[in-house]
Structures are given as structure tokens and as C-alpha cells.
Amino acid sequence: MSNILIRGGTVVNADQAFQADVLTQDGKIIAVGPNLQAPAGATVVDAGGQYVMPGGIDPHTHMQLPFMGTTTMDDFYTGTAASLAGGTTSIIDFVIPNPQQPLMEAYQTWRGWAEKSAADYGFHVAITWWDESVKRDMGTLVQQEGVNSFKHFMAYKNAIMCDDETLVNSFKRALELGAMPTVHAENGELVYLLQQEVAKRGITGPEGHPLSRPPTVEGEAANRAIAIAEVLNVPIYVVHVSCIESAEAIARARARGQRVYGEVLAGHLTVDDSVYRHPDFAIAAAHVMSPPFRPKAHQEALWRGLQSGSLHTTATDHCTFCAAQKAAGKDNFAKIPNGCGGVEERMAVVWDEGVNTGRLTPSEFVAVTSANTAKLFNLYPNKGSVSVGADADIVVWDPAGTKTLSAKTQFSKGDYNIFEGRTVTGIPSHTLSQGKLVFVQGDLRAERGVGRYVKRPAFNANFTASKLRADVMAVGAVKR
Ligand code: URP
Ligand code: ZN
Ligand code: ZN
Ligand code: ZN
């Protein structure tokens, strides 16, 4: 038996915060309450003056992703080790089949790659093409493999882009299966056209990247995906909402009663588009990701989305490429591999910019860093809650601790940090994963291969309600 007693802290869940000790045993939380006794041999963690919160869940990472002719720097081990150092104890990554590749083959490949993970993980599976086998394999993934969400890239033309026919077929199938359709919302046709037009104006550097992907391009795709979901009566989750246009599309749909959910990245909340005009190519290129960083006014809108409840989760889209990889687009911004890091910094950045500024309470912080993701992707309350019976995935959070974020001190393999030089107040002092201390005051004890694949069962309530509503509202034939 292995026990850890976390003593003297304030437990923070999404619904309440209270003074309590937390006792774990063999990977689970077995008691939460005042003045708990330490069993013989227990390790005691002093959490005095600190918060005891559910470990973060990052619902959007790309470890070891082959993308745009290269593969990300962080693999499933280094990426999840870095996440543990930042207080994130689970990730949901993406299986991305090539067009025409059987889904199950891609899924097995990613499962193999992920075996080296140091933290628990799950997968969304991307639908990049359509035929009967894809439809069948979606069923197998949901019913046998614990995949309850499917991703659709509305951008990346001539690669993994999903057209409207595939979107409609896949959303319909997802509804049948009780699985959440998710979208990367950018109009891939417009991006493709704008890339050529920007290049014709002689713009070949990273400053061309945001010009080829303006907010309207994202807003159009978000509105389209939401409208398709509305017609089909299926809930929908929009990943990496970066701008006012798509945040408003979600808010409007929710105001109409539609079940639409939005994710926002720590980077989009805090980094603006001035980075693309940096005179050093390497620095500007290091920020090339899609959707791009936006002018500051958009950041405030994203925060308001989290505050008002029209955006639900925070993620990172952790997808690290080093300077040598980014240099593939030295003469053409459209060839710079898209992606940035952040899995290690998300919790601290969202705390520092969210809780320390009064935008979020500690409980709201828990909602947007773990609990909402756990609920939306059916991991709750095993994950996303400090309660008896939950997994002992816990972060002990020192609200007075400070750290200056930097590529020089990060655990992640990337050679750049989009939060470089930012000093945050509020950092993890301890991280527990599966009831083991994996990070203690700066000392990372991540273990390769101990992370578990977490099955996520299909949904019931949201989908049943959406179907019921459709039936109630259905207009029948006229009897003549
Ligand atoms: O630029 C990004 N975001 N790269 C990863 C793939 C994606 O679009 O999520
Ligand atoms: Zn994306
Ligand atoms: Zn992504
Ligand atoms: Zn490299």
C-alpha cells in the first residue's frame, strides 16, 4: 500500500473550496476531510497556505505528431513529463489518419507511440476522409476503444482538410454513437487562396501567416460547423477559439439554446500578433501556429468568454517544432510547420492572468483547467475532481510561488517558449499522478511508460436531450 497525506491545504473543486486534508492510497483518493490521520508509512505533504486542486487536463495536445513534413520535438514521454511539471496530469491527444488510411490502423499506431507516456492520456480521432469503412470504424472506436470525440480539420487543404460532405456524414454518425464532434474552424479554401495572394504581394516571411488566416476565416468556419451541428441536432465542441468572430458565433448559438462548447488556448489568451513582425525570423516563425495569435482586443474577448461561460476549457495545442524545423519555411511562410508549445505552462499562465487579475476565482480556474474538460469528454469525476474515489491526480498549488518561464529552464523538448521571460505568480509545488509524487518543488520524477490509456465512454445525457428536443420540435406532414 502506498499512502500520501496532503495536509493543511484548501481543497479547490469547480463547485466549492474548503479546508481539508486529502489522503490517497494506491492511486485513488480515499478520504477528504479535516484532521485526517496519516497511516503508518504514509508520505506527508505539507500544503499549508496552498491550494489542493485536481491535476490539469489538457484536452488538446499533439505529441510526436508527424505534420507538414516533420515530426514534433516532444514525444509522448517528454511531452507528458513536461505536463506533469506544470501540474497537468492528463492529456487528450489526436489520432490523425492520412486521407484514405484506415482509422483503426492510425489509431493503433498512435496507441503504440503513446505507450511511453508518463501521464494518463486519451485520444480524439480525426476524420480526414469518408467512406463506409470510416463510418464502421467510428463505431468500433466508440464502442470498443473508449473514444468519444472526433476531430474535423476545416483547414489544411490538400492534406487533412475535411469538406462539408465529410463533416455532415461524420457529425451524423457521431450523433448516432453519442460521440462529440469537434472542429478546427478555419475556412481552408480561403486560407489557401490568401496564402497565394499574400505571397504575390512579396510577403514571404512569418508576417504573412496571420494575413493568410484573418479572424473572418475562422468565424466563417465556426458559424458553418455550428449551423451544420444545429441542423443535425448534435452537440459540437470548437477547438482553439482564437478570435471575437468565433467566440461570438458560439455565444450566439448558446443563446439560442444550442449545445456548443468552446476551447481556448493559454497562448491565444496571452500572446498577441505583434510576434509575427519580430525582425528575427526564428522568433517570428516560432509563433507560427493555426489559428494565429491575434490583436490584443481578441484576447480580452476570449477571457470574457471563459468568464461568462460561453467558452469552457483551456488547452495548449502543444505541438513543438525547433528552429531548424521551422526553417523549412524560410522562403515561404506557408511551409513553416504550424505549432507551438505550452503544456508545461498552461496552468501557471491561466492562474497568473486569470486568478491573479480577478477574472477567475480559484474554483472557476479548476472548471476551465480540468473539470469542464472531464465533464465534456466523460472523464468526470474520476478526473477533474478532488473527491473520494477519484484518481489521485492532484496538484498542490503555491499561490505565492513565482517562476520566470523560459526555454532555458523548461522540461519540454522545444527550443522556444512562447511565454519566454514572463514571470508568473502561482505555480505547482507538488504534482501527484496515480497517487505518486511525480513533481516535488522543481524536482521532476516522471517515469516513462507508466501513463495509462484512459477509455472515455460514449455520452448519454447531452445527446439524449438533443435528440429529444429534435423530436419535440419536429414538424410533421399535413394529413390530406
Ligand atoms: O498550428 C497548429 N495548431 N498545429 C497543430 C495542428 C492543429 O491545427 O491543431
Ligand atoms: Zn487545429
Ligand atoms: Zn491542434
Ligand atoms: Zn531539431
pLDDT tens across 6-20, in order? 999 999 999 999 999
Q: Which of 362, 361, 441 is nearest to 53 (CA)?
A: 362
Confirm or reject: Cβ of 319 under 6 Å from ligand 1: yes
Please give the CATH topology (third level) of the domain spanning 54-386+454-461. TIM Barrel (3.20.20)
- The 10s digit of each residue's pLDDT in 88-106 is 999 999 999 999 999 999 9
CA 135, 136, 137, 138 torsion: positive or negative? Answer: positive
- Ligand 1, atom 5, lies closest to the CA of 339
**Ligand 1 atom nearest 62 alpha carbon:** 5
- Output Rg (C-alpha) for the chain, integer angstroms: 22
- Ligand 1, atom 8, lies closest to the CA of 290
* Ligand whose nearest atom lies closest to the CA of 287: 1
CA of 66 to the centre of ligand 4 (A): 14
**Ligand 1 atom nearest 288 alpha carbon:** 1
**3-state secondary structure labels for all residues of 297-353:** HHHHHHHHHHHHCCCCEEECCECCCCHHHHHHHCCCHHHCCCCECCCCCHHHHHHHH
- The 10s digit of each residue's pLDDT in 131-146 is 999 999 999 999 999 9
Confirm or reject: Cβ of 97 under 6 Å from ligand 1: no
User: By percentage, how much of the chain surpasses pLDDT 70?
Assistant: 100
- Residue 181 pLDDT exceeds 90: yes
- The 10s digit of each residue's pLDDT in 225-271 is 999 999 999 999 999 999 999 999 999 999 999 999 999 999 999 99
> Which residues are registered as beta bridge partners of 395?
53, 431
Q: How far apart are CA 146 and CA 152, in angstroms?
A: 18
CA of 405 to the centre of ligand 3 (A): 22
**Ligand 1 atom nearest 338 alpha carbon:** 1
Q: Using most ligand atoms within 8 A of CB, pick from 91, 153, 183, 289 the residue to mutate for ligand 1.
A: 289
**Ligand 1 atom nearest 153 alpha carbon:** 8
CA of 248 to the centre of ligand 3 (A): 21
CA of 183 to the centre of ligand 3 (A): 10
Question: And the C-alpha cell for 427?
Answer: 505555480
Confirm or reject: Cβ of 161 under 6 Å from ligand 1: no
What DSSP assignment string belongs to 177-241?
A: HT-EEEEE---HHHHHHHHHHHHHTT--STTHHHHTS-HHHHHHHHHHHHHHHHHHT--EEE-S-
* pTM for the predicted model, two decimal places: 0.98
Give the N- to C-terminal CA distance of the chain in Å, as an integer.
Answer: 74
- Ligand 1, atom 1, lies closest to the CA of 289
Question: And the C-alpha cell for 392?
Answer: 489521485
Confirm or reject: Cβ of 429 under 6 Å from ligand 1: no
Question: And the C-alpha cell for 362?
Answer: 480559484
Q: How far apart are CA 473 and CA 33, in angstroms?
A: 47
Task: Output helix, strand, coil percentages for the chain, rounded to the nearest 5.
Answer: 35, 25, 40
* Ligand whose nearest atom lies closest to the CA of 286: 1
* Residue 279, burial from CB neighbour count under 10 angstroms (0-12, 13-18, 19+): exposed
**Residue 23 CA, distance from chain mean position:** 29
pLDDT attached to residue 466: 83
By DSSP bridging, strand 436-440 and strand 423-433 are antiparallel
Q: Using most ligand atoms within 8 A of CB, pick from 237, 268, 288, 319 the residue to mutate for ligand 1.
A: 319
Q: How far apart are CA 180 and CA 414, in angstroms?
A: 31
Confirm or reject: Cβ of 289 under 6 Å from ligand 1: yes
By DSSP bridging, strand 180-184 and strand 149-153 are parallel
Confirm or reject: Cβ of 62 under 6 Å from ligand 1: yes
CA of 48 to the centre of ligand 3 (A): 37
Q: Which residues are CB-contacts of 193 (< 8 A; sequence separation ≥ 6)?
A: none
> Which residues are registered as beta bridge partners of 21?
33
**Backbone torsions φ then ψ of 242, nearest 5 degrees:** -115, -10
> 163, 129 in Cβ contact below 8 A?
no
- Residue 460 pLDDT exceeds 80: no
Strands (E) located in 361-412 = 394-404
- Ligand 1, atom 9, lies closest to the CA of 317
- Residue 452 pLDDT exceeds 80: yes
pLDDT attached to residue 178: 95
What is the ipTM metric for this complex?
0.95
Q: Domain residue spans in the chain?
A: 54-386+454-461
- The 10s digit of each residue's pLDDT in 196-233 is 999 999 999 999 999 999 999 999 999 999 999 999 99
Q: Using most ligand atoms within 8 A of CB, pick from 294, 338, 416 the residue to mutate for ligand 1.
A: 338
